[in-house]
Amino acid sequence: MGSVKDLEVLKRPTREKMGVARFHFSDRYSVFDWGRMPDLIEGKGAALCLMGAYSFEKLEERGVRTHYRGVVTPEGKVVRTDELEEPVNVMEIDLVNVYRPKPYRESGRLRYDYSIFTPDLKNFLVPLEIIYRNGLPEGSSVFKRLEQGLKPEDLGLDHYPKPGERLERPIFDVSTKLEEKDRYVTWSEAQRIAGLTDREVLEIKEKLLEIDNLITEIAARAGLENEDGKVEFAFDDERRLMVVDVVGTLDECRFTFEGLHVSKEVARQYYRRTEWYRDVERAKREADARGVEDWRSLCRSKPPRLDPQMKRIICNIYKSAANEYTGLYLFEAPSLAETLKEYREYRERVLEGSSPRA
């Protein structure tokens, strides 16, 4: 299915009816849209599965429709998270169709045809990623977009924000989901390309706020700040909105703990210091200028491996966060506070003030 999880189809969806599938969450990881990176993060897949499943169960308790059916034990039984005695990495879901916009070139630029998405279409993945932002921590894409010309008022802000700033009310952002490279769009463009009605746009924003509030509450019990997160939606076979993919995990959300990142941002910050990251940025700019769909083919280098201590710290971050977010404590791992103390010391000793790695 992708760089970090695999999809097992048990029953294919038709145009009229949903199917059934299972997500197999792997220990692979991806940063900067690269795809599979050279290392495996032990326990990551099970941690994401459990955090996502727990979040779905809590959403459904509040009446929010999702595609979640349960987690799958090694014996193949579909259960709720509170029935588990050990971590699992398989989740069963209702499956909808994925219709991809058709790429084409216009005046040397890559464009996409979204004409398949109409207000009458049912049983499909909405081709958008919806993002809520409660804060703007260091590394937020908002700062890069502001440097490139985005105005604060475009985000509903009345001032130029600073890294680490908490927002009085959340910002709702939206980007494409099924293009070669995610692209931020306005809400009016998002509505047009996805074939949404005014009422459906309003419903998406209402559900997004409910999801944001729930994850904020759960995360706070683990001492985590819910800075931002991404959510995907689909319409079922009656064109009723539901939350899909997975929510409330370290890959979908950007959490912080006493100012430290507790999310995939840890790996992003590590790699931002490398020559490979600079090659990635150059390749993306060149692909945009030339109208090339596969920007990775233009990248001059491959990502380096994580150093062993960084890899172990990231493994423990995923396990510790899953323990304390869900309250299930199914992983053998240090407390989140202990893990992040080691990470803080590592940053000060190795990452800050040292020369970038090749």
DSSP string, 135-165: EE-TT-HHHHHHHTT--GGGGT-SS---TTE
Q: Read off the CATH number of the domain in which 215 is found.
A: 3.30.470.20
Contact 130, 208 (CB under 8 A): yes
Q: pLDDT digit string (tens) for 138-192?
A: 778 899 899 888 888 888 888 899 888 899 899 999 999 999 888 999 999 999 9
Q: Taken in order 336, 356, 144, 32, is the CA torsion positive or negative?
A: negative
In a domain, 289, yes or no: yes
Cα separation of 183 and 129, whole Å? 10
Q: What is the mean pLDDT of the chain?
A: 93
In a domain, 199, yes or no: yes
Q: pLDDT digit string (tens) for 320-330?
A: 999 999 999 99
The predicted model gives 227-234 an average pLDDT of 96
Cα separation of 37 and 305, whole Å? 8
Cα separation of 19 and 126, whole Å? 16
Angle at the Cα of 123 from the Cα atoms of 30 and 173, rounded to 5 degrees: 50
- The count of domains in the chain is 1
pLDDT for res 139: 74
In a domain, 357, yes or no: no
Q: pLDDT digit string (tens) for 203-215?
A: 999 999 999 999 9
In a domain, 175, yes or no: yes
Q: Quick one: what percent of the chain has pLDDT higher than 70? A: 97
Residue position matching structure tokens 């009446």:
63
pLDDT for res 71: 98
The predicted model gives 76-87 an average pLDDT of 97
> How many angstroms from the chain centroid is the CA of residue 272?
18
pLDDT for res 290: 87
pLDDT for res 311: 96
pLDDT at 195 > cutoff 90: yes
Whole-number Cα distances in Å, 58 to 23, 44, 74: 19, 21, 24
Q: pLDDT digit string (tens) for 264-313?
A: 889 998 999 999 999 999 999 999 888 888 999 999 999 999 999 999 99
Instruction: Provide the residue count of the chain.
Output: 358
Tell me the three state secondary structure of residue 202: helix
* Structural domain for 128, as ranges: 5-351
In a domain, 206, yes or no: yes
Would you state the torsion angle of the CA atoms of residues 199, 241, 44, 19, taken in this order, to the nearest 10 degrees? -150
pLDDT at 358 > cutoff 80: no
Q: Taken in order 332, 58, 4, 144, is the CA torsion positive or negative?
A: negative
What's the half-sphere exposure (Cβ side, CA atoms, 13 Å) at 296?
Answer: 11
Q: Where does the pLDDT of residue 1 fall: very low under 50, low under 70, confident under 90, or very high at 90 and above?
A: low
Cα separation of 121 and 294, whole Å? 29
pLDDT for res 2: 67
In a domain, 358, yes or no: no
Reading the block at residue 236, the tokens are 């079922």
Sequence-distant (≥ 6) Cβ neighbours of residue 93 within 8 angstroms: 20, 21, 22, 23, 67, 68, 69, 244
Q: Where does the pLDDT of residue 356 fall: very low under 50, low under 70, confident under 90, or very high at 90 and above?
A: very low
